[in-house]
Structure 1
Amino acid sequence: MKKEYSMVPLRKKILPVLLTAVFLFPLAAHAEIKANSVELSPFIGYHFFEEDQNLKDDFVFGGRAGYNITNRFAIEGALEFINTSVDDKNQAFTTEGQFTSPIDDVKMTSYHLDVLYHFMPEKKFNPFIAAGYGAAHYSPKINNENLSVISYGVGAKYWLAENIGLRADLRDNLVVDDTFHNVEATLGVIFRFGGASEAEAAPAPVVRREPAPQPVKKAEKKVVAAPVEPAYTVLEFDDVYFDFDQSTLKPTAKIKLDEYIKLLKENPKAKIRIEGYTSEKGTAEYNQDLSEKRAAAVKSYLINEGGIKPSRLKAVGYGQDDPKAYEANPDDIRSRAAKKNMRVLFEIVVQ
């Protein structure tokens, strides 16, 4: 009579493997699967034979070679080897595909072609599902042909460096000819070659550069773009003005800064230098301190009211140096030249 198969022993074998997989990989950190890349992965693991096949569970080793068609879909081939032996030598033959005495040592070679789907390709931790088709060759043979195998299961990749990672797989290798479910758990190392991330593969943004403006004399600077070194574009904003001996922002200055906040949010890579200046009235030491306070007031407004990151801002004061306009009479604090010099200047570099 054919031996009745029970799933209980198989479940007991799978449970420790699942628990190991859960604790093996931590939560995801940032990284990604690269499209058009090749992955080579030697592995070792353990193969659990179905009880009716009468083979001892044993180690399996082999290798995989895969190609990432996109960052989500991949195709790979696998070759693996197992050296095992008959489990119960006193058992009588009861079902097709079963090994019994006088056979002792059994070698199995299998190969299959699989398709993988990655669930989080942009992360450092990449869980996936896999399914494929192949064949298993037993020596000594069970029959005159290799046995067809459908392989399916789950796994995960964890990248230790840009092109080196770890991999875990849990597969059910269904022997189609004899309906054996042989479960396999493996761990391997991944070596990746070539490919490009999604960000690298995307076309670079087009930066439009305005021609250098001709120098003109105006009361206010308009937003212009001036070419500098090839890697940067320098933008200048209208100056923000202050009252004499004051570092408090005027309502008109806040309106301008609100406009600049919108522009800065549209250019998140911009790094800003905020330069404070004063008129020539007063001592150099006093004016230096006042110019720093003016620059700091603008920086504080951009951070607190606009939500601009402090790491993007640098505030400096230059006192009465480098005036915007020449002051013929520094004591005249209401002169047009003095008002032009009581300002904060912006310089923004976009990488």
Structure 2
Amino acid sequence: MNKRILNGSILNCTFALTALISSANSFAEEVNTSIIEFSPNVGYYQFDGGREIDDAPFIGMGLGLFFSRSFAAILNYSRFDTELADGSSAGDIDIQKYHIDALYFFNTEQKWRPYASLGYGQIDFKDSIQQEANETNLSVGLGLSFQMTPKWSIRGDARNFHSFDESVNDQTFMLTLGYRVGEGER
């Protein structure tokens, strides 16, 4: 009797293990490194007129995950220097900005793809006398992407960043070069 139960248990475990391995292989074929994107970017940050801070160019880097041809999430970091609008040397400001963006692409079977972005993040200011300010912001934007190859794309967009802390609206214009690892887009 115990031998029959033991044989049945081994058979059940073998079936369960086979099912688990085959479903894991199926999942591994769908999810691979091709969903990862590295995306250096450059842009121009335009501050709200009420801030009295000079507009400035910036550079940044993004790390993204493409969950499908239509949807991606990208973590962005950028830094740049500017100064107070009055031009005083005491007004030099170091800025760091980081935000996570959800991108939704339209027309995904074509090379030219319009997209919408929604983001949440923070901008940190540090002036020349070491005073600091941090602001939480929400961004919305529209852009256009060109899929050059399965691995390479270029995106340009305009975004509005609303600061919850200061109730101001800043704008950015950004150009991004995207590189997808692995096989790239499928």
* TM category, shorter: 0.7 to 0.9
CA distance in 2, matches of 1:42, 1:80: 10
- Which residue does 1:134 correspond to in 2? 121
Q: How does 1:174-213 map to 2 (within 5 A)?
A: 174-194=162-182, 197=186
Report Cα offsets for 1:278-324 as digits up to 9, x if no partner.
xxxxxxxxxxxxxxxxxxxxxxxxxxxxxxxxxxxxxxxxxxxxxxx
Which has the larger share of strand?
2
CA distance in 1, matches of 2:130, 2:66: 36
- Which residue does 1:44 correspond to in 2? 42
Q: Relative contact order (alpha carbons < 8 A, sep ≥ 6): 1 or 2 greater? A: 2
CA distance in 2, matches of 1:83, 1:129: 28
For the 8 Å contact 1:36–1:70, the answer to whether it is kept is: no
Report Cα offsets for 1:183-237 as digits up to 9, x if no partner.
000112111123552xxxxxxxxxxxxxxxxxxxxxxxxxxxxxxxxxxxxxxxx
Deviation at 1:161, TM superposition (A): 2.4
Local SS of the residue matching 1:165: strand
For the 8 Å contact 2:151–2:185, the answer to whether it is kept is: no
TM-aligned CA distance change 1:38 to 1:127, over 3 Å: same
Q: Which 5+ residue runs of structure 1 have no aligned equivalent?
A: 1-34, 90-100, 198-351
For the 8 Å contact 2:123–2:134, the answer to whether it is kept is: yes
- Which residue does 2:101 correspond to in 1? 114
Q: 1:148 aligns with which of 113, 125, 136?
A: 136
For the 8 Å contact 2:72–2:104, the answer to whether it is kept is: yes
Report Cα offsets for 1:157-204 as digits up to 9, x if no partner.
11222311211121111111001111000112111123552xxxxxxx
Deviation at 1:77, TM superposition (A): 0.4
TM-aligned CA distance change 1:153 to 1:143, over 3 Å: farther
Local SS of the residue matching 2:181: strand
CA distance in 2, matches of 1:163, 1:176: 37
Deviation at 1:59, TM superposition (A): 0.5
Report Cα offsets for 1:43-100 as digits up to 9, x if no partner.
11111111110011110110111111111111110001121111125xxxxxxxxxxx
TM-aligned CA distance change 1:160 to 1:51, over 3 Å: same
* TM-score under structure 2 length normalisation: 0.74
- Which residue does 2:85 correspond to in 1? 87
Amino acid aligned to 2:107: M
Local SS of the residue matching 2:50: helix
Amino acid aligned to 1:130: S
RMSD: 2.2
TM-aligned CA distance change 1:39 to 1:170, over 3 Å: same
- Which residue does 1:60 correspond to in 2? 58
Local SS of the residue matching 2:149: coil
CA distance in 2, matches of 1:103, 1:111: 25
Deviation at 1:103, TM superposition (A): 3.4
TM-aligned CA distance change 1:144 to 1:46, over 3 Å: closer
Q: How does 1:191-270 map to 2 (within 5 A)?
A: 191-194=179-182, 197=186
Local SS of the residue matching 1:103: helix
Q: Which 5+ residue runs of structure 2 have no aligned equivalent?
A: 1-32
Give identity over the alignment, percent.
Answer: 26
For the 8 Å contact 2:124–2:132, the answer to whether it is kept is: no
Local SS of the residue matching 2:86: coil
- Which residue does 2:70 correspond to in 1? 72
